[in-house]
Amino acid sequence: MDKQEIFNSSVNTKFFGLLGSPLGQSAAPFMHNSVYQKLGIDALYVPLELSMDQLEPVVTNLENFHYAGSGVTMPFKTQVHKYLDGLADSARFTEVVNTIVFENGKKIGHNTDGTGFVLSLQKQLGLEIPDHNYLILGAGGAGTAIACALAMEGAKDIKSLCIAKDYFCAETLFDRVDRHFPFVCTIGEMTEKSIAAALEKYDVIIHATKVGMYPKVDEILFDPDLLKPHHIVADVVYVPVETKLLREAAARGCRTLSGLWMNTYQAAEQMRLWLGIEPPMEYMYNHSLEYLKSQGKA
């Protein structure tokens, strides 16, 4: 974010924060601020990198420092709900929050990650959600939010695989989803064998871990030769825009979806919640892509 943007702010500027750590890879401030500038909106999206022990006092005092809302990213998505006054349906089922909205003096948690991902499947690939089954690799905040959003849109069969050390936390998160959407989601331990078996059954493959994220761009979670042309492969990672997984999947005839589309749709949902605007989707995607290219991270 250009320091000049801060100097150009006024008493009428609406400030929105991004709570997380680290924030060096995030394209969110650039995406939001470029849209505000294009539409002539007096608003500024500010990255606020903080530690876990700073989370509660920062969230508690956001309004006191004239913030009108905030985004939330790792590692706080599963923790911040404890410091809010309520949760919207998008976050209530999982207690995973990536967006804070101030409503009538109360801090309400939303989740636009899951909503944004489902919209990207529908709008970019034309998927009818109930017509497919879904394998989610990774059961953290993003994976759980995606599972919940898919279930809310009518998905009937969702399988999530996670590494052994995360299994207990993942099981807790998915239990919350199961309470509201029984018999839709199952969870298992992620191994070479379990991935191979799941790929035989599921047609939409959703990668929701950090594997392959910049700077470790040559990493991939599983043997891509397990993929078949009927698979649809989506990655939540958007730095780089085309991960090794997506390249390998495309080479095997799979349809693919970059995490940059999910990030674009979820950011648009945040803008609708905060400002009531209809954001320019293609502009957001293309402008973010150019930004990542300029940083050598596309």
Going by the annotation, the residues of the binding site are 73, 89, 98, 113, 138-142, 236, 238, 259, 266
Q: Is 24:213 a contact under the CB 8 Å cutoff? A: no
Closest CA to 236 of 138, 100, 157: 138
Residues in the chain: 298
- The binding site for NADP(+) consists of 89, 138-142, 236, 259
Four-residue CA torsion sign, 32, 37, 39, 44: positive
User: Looking only at Cα atoms, what is the longest distance across the chain?
Assistant: 58
From the annotation, which residues make up the binding site for shikimate?
73, 98, 113, 238, 266
User: Of all helices (H) and strands (E), which one includes residue 135?
Assistant: strand 134-137
Sheet containing 255-257: order of strands: 185-189, 158-162, 134-137, 204-207, 232-235, 255-257
Residue 222: other Cβ atoms inside 10 A = 21
* Residues in CB range of 296: below 8 A, 6 or more apart: none
Catalytic member of 77, 107, 159, 244? 77
Please indicate whether residue 216 is annotated as part of the active site.
no
So which residues are the catalytic ones?
Answer: 77
